[in-house]
């Protein structure tokens, strides 16, 4: 059974850098995975893709050696188990608000007697010879804290047996805790949001689980590591593509003297 390289990295006391794929294309995924990320996550929740894209994307990224993960659309056993069967070594589950929801999520991740995952690792068994019950010890269960209820129940959620970590989506955490007073987005600078983000890291450390944060820039990600975060995501394929294209167009406009370039919208993940 293949070992989870993220776990090895954390055992050595090193933080991890996670890549993010929202474009449903194996070549785009292969390009992302070839850049040296420790892990790469396919965003099934908000990404422009579905399961028919997920499996070939995992195949395209296999040679990179990165730990491959998926963010599922919801706390749904069908999505979670199918992503694991496709070869995901970690699952990020959105909108975990209570201990009971965290327990339910964790139960879908592992085979009996430690959970209720159904056996049928169709691709995983091919990609990882010896795949079976041993996967219980290698797959990562990461719950997303994104709401006021999630923050209120943070300590109980973090203490859930079998939960490996908490993944923070700052955009939804802002929407969910600030009653619409602040716009969604990454790299929060408001003192009240920094307090919440740091509290999550502290609670994770107290419960010996990993703290993970979605960031928009390497500078902010480095700051998060200093706060105690164990994994940071910096941007993602769609944002990186848009940013590089925008910079190229802007430079062209400056060099040829055509004035300002057309405006561009900044997307989500």
Cα dihedral 109→152→212→238 (10° resolution): 90
Rounded Cα–Cα distance for residues 202 and 82 (Å): 32
Token representation of residue 44? 């099934």
CB 77 within 8 A of CB 104: no
Q: Please spell the DSSP secondary structure of 117-184, one letter per residue.
A: PPS--TTHHHHSTT-SGGGGGT-EEEEEE-SHHHHHTHHHHHT-TT--EEEE-HHHHHHHHTTTSS--
Active-site residue, selected from the candidate residues 46, 114, 214, 253:
46
DSSP 46-77: TSB--HHHHHHHHHHHGGG-PEEEEE-SSS-H
Place of tokens 């928009």: 216
Known catalytic membership, residue 253:
no
Q: Which residues are catalytic?
A: 46
């Amino acid at each position: 059974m293949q070992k989870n390289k993220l776990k090895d990295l954390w055992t050595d006391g090193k933080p991890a850098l996670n890549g993010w794929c929202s474009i449903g294309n194996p070549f785009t995924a292969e390009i992302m995975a070839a850049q040296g990320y420790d892990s790469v996550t396919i965003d099934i929740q908000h990404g422009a893709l579905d399961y028919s894209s997920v499996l070939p994307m995992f195949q395209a990224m296999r040679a990179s050696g990165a730990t491959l993960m998926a963010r599922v659309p919801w706390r749904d056993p069908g999505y979670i188990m199918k992503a694991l069967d496709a070869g995901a070594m970690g699952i990020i589950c959105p909108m975990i608000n209570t201990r009971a929801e965290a327990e339910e999520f964790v139960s879908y991740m592992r085979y009996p007697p430690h959970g209720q995952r159904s056996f049928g690792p169709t691709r995983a068994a091919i990609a990882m010879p010896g795949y079976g019950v041993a996967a219980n010890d290698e797959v990562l269960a990461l719950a997303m804290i994104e709401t006021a209820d999630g923050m209120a129940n943070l300590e109980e959620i973090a203490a859930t047996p079998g939960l490996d970590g908490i993944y923070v989506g700052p955009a939804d955490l802002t929407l969910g805790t600030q009653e619409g007073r602040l716009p969604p987005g990454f790299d929060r600078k408001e003192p009240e949001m920094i307090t919440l983000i740091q509290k999550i890291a502290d609670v994770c450390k107290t419960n010996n689980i990993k703290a993970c944060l979605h960031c928009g820039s390497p500078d902010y990600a480095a700051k998060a590591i200093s706060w105690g975060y164990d994994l940071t995501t910096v941007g993602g394929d769609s944002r990186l593509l848009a940013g590089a294209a925008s910079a190229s167009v802007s430079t062209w406009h400056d060099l040829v003297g055509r004035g300002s370039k057309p405006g561009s919208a900044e997307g989500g993940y």
